[in-house]
Amino acid sequence: MAEALIGERAALDRSVLKLPEVDIEVFQGGEGPVLLFLHGGGGLQADAAFLRLLGKRFRVVAPSHPGFGGSSLPLWMDSVDDFAHVHFDVIDQLKLDHITLVGASIGGWTAAEMATKNTSRIDRLVLVSPVGIKVGPVDKLDIPDIFAMAQDKVERLIYHQPEKWRLDPAKKTDEELLTFARNRETLTLVTWEPYMHNPKLKHRLHRIDRPTLILRGASDGLVSRDYADSYAKLIPGARLETIPEAGHVPFLEQPEAFVDRIVRFAGR
């Protein structure tokens, strides 16, 4: 089944892939080389401007992780590593190849896990404000505990301009609020213990054998410059770039600058 997003917001078409034991919501659109986008903990905003811009240069494929959006979540699935295996199934079913793999936040974590396992269909890797490793002292969190904060404080850590992006429940439909709550529940499930990392991942990042770009918003209150730099140093040949006037989601706050970095890195 396919459902086109409506009007000027239209960017991608929605479908549901029937994979072994899980149904995955996938948005696709555009033409050109394949770009697989893996969203962060807030879920996928399929009408976002950056996806429309990417669609002018790439064939964009953007799945919702299990338990996010319209994707199902089997009872046995409880980790980002599980997400990585599911997205390999997405790649197989859609017969994707020569992929520019872009992952944001926990999507970046997922993309990094994937790239340590198999890069036969991945040409380039972009990690946007990625989490997933532990580099600081054992008695201190590398990533602030978002589950122990009020929503407005979390928004101040995520956005360069939090007042512009602040969630107003009164302006959301019941369906949108249910999706928000479900996304939050799944995020907690896969990142809670150990918090926001896989203890083994940093020991595997040396296996990544594709050109890698790490992007970070200059105002990111979750992923620090030191953390992002540590990530880059663990991946052979990776480089770190900063996008001004953006926080943890530079693709939302600075879509043109974000897409420009992707296009230049992918050689388009």
> Between the CA of residue 268 and those of 27, 111, 157, what are the distances in Å?
22, 21, 32
- Low pLDDT (below 70) residues in the chain: 1-11, 268
Non-local (6+) Cβ contacts of 116 within 8 A are 201, 204, 205, 207, 208
Here the CATH number for the domain that contains residue 240 is 3.40.50.1820
pTM beyond 0.85: the answer is yes
- What is residue 264's predicted lDDT score, i.e. its pLDDT? 97
Residue 152: helix, strand or coil by DSSP?
helix
Beta bridge partners of 36: 61, 101
Structural domain that includes position 27: 3-265
Q: How many domains does the chain have?
A: 1
pLDDT digits (tens, 9 = 90+) for 19-53: 999 999 999 999 999 999 999 999 999 999 999 99
- What is residue 1's predicted lDDT score, i.e. its pLDDT? 36
Find, among 25, 29, 24, the residue nearest to 51 by Cα.
Answer: 29
Measure the CA angle with vertex 67, ends 16 and 29; round to 5°: 35
- What is residue 173's predicted lDDT score, i.e. its pLDDT? 93
